[in-house]
Structure 1
Amino acid sequence: MPTDAHSLRITGKVQGRDIVLAGPLSKGEIRDKVWWWQTSDPTTPKERGDRHHQYDGSEEDVLTTLGGYYVVPCDSRAPEAEELVEMVYTELNPDQR
């Protein structure tokens, strides 16, 4: 069965929130969705409420991809974060290679 970019999905748990990344997405959209708590302007009332919830930091933030589990760094500007965005972008946008 052929797979198109619209059927590709990456799931994760970041800051206690379940997230789903469904392709195709730009690198900026990926960064905004993964580091949603750092976004300067949440767009919906739910996003604004989510940013103020209590979070138990005892569990690692992870994304689950075809390649395995990847830890989400706290700092969206860290080199590890850029590598994660690149990997997720490549997986969600296979036609862009």
Structure 2
Amino acid sequence: MADEANAARITGKVQGRDIVLDGRLSEDEIRDRVWWWTSRPDSGDQEDHGHEYDGSRRDVIATLGGYYEVPGDPDTPEGGELLEMLYAELNPDG
């Protein structure tokens, strides 16, 4: 119960959708939630498969360290750095 009370909670607004990351999530789970419109065929989430990325909006994630802009592609160096930082904040014990 103490772990739940102290669990990190990260919020954001990405492509018009509110994002909440809490608890211990794997990198794949984080990627699927933050970059939700890029659903992978094996993820089982076909709900937003037809969504096209709209680069005219600022997509941001709020963490304990501040606000970070979400790049449109998780496979860019910036996307990888954001993913690593989010993972580290959600899983402080490694």
TM-score per shorter chain, which class? 0.7 to 0.9
- 1:32 is matched with which residue? 32
Moved over 6 A (4+): 53-56
TM-score between the two structures when normalised by the length of structure 1: 0.78
> How far apart, in 1, do the equivalents of 2:87 and 2:52 lie?
30
Q: CA deviation at 1:76?
A: 1.1
Q: Name whichever structure is richer in helix by fraction.
A: 1
TM-align CA RMSD: 2.3
- 1:69 is matched with which residue? 67
- 2:89 is matched with which residue? 91
> How far apart, in 1, do the equivalents of 2:49 and 2:21 lie?
18
The number of residue pairs the alignment matches comes to 91
TM-score between the two structures when normalised by the length of structure 2: 0.80
Percent identical residues: 59
* 5+ residue gaps, structure 1: none
Q: CA deviation at 1:58?
A: 3.4
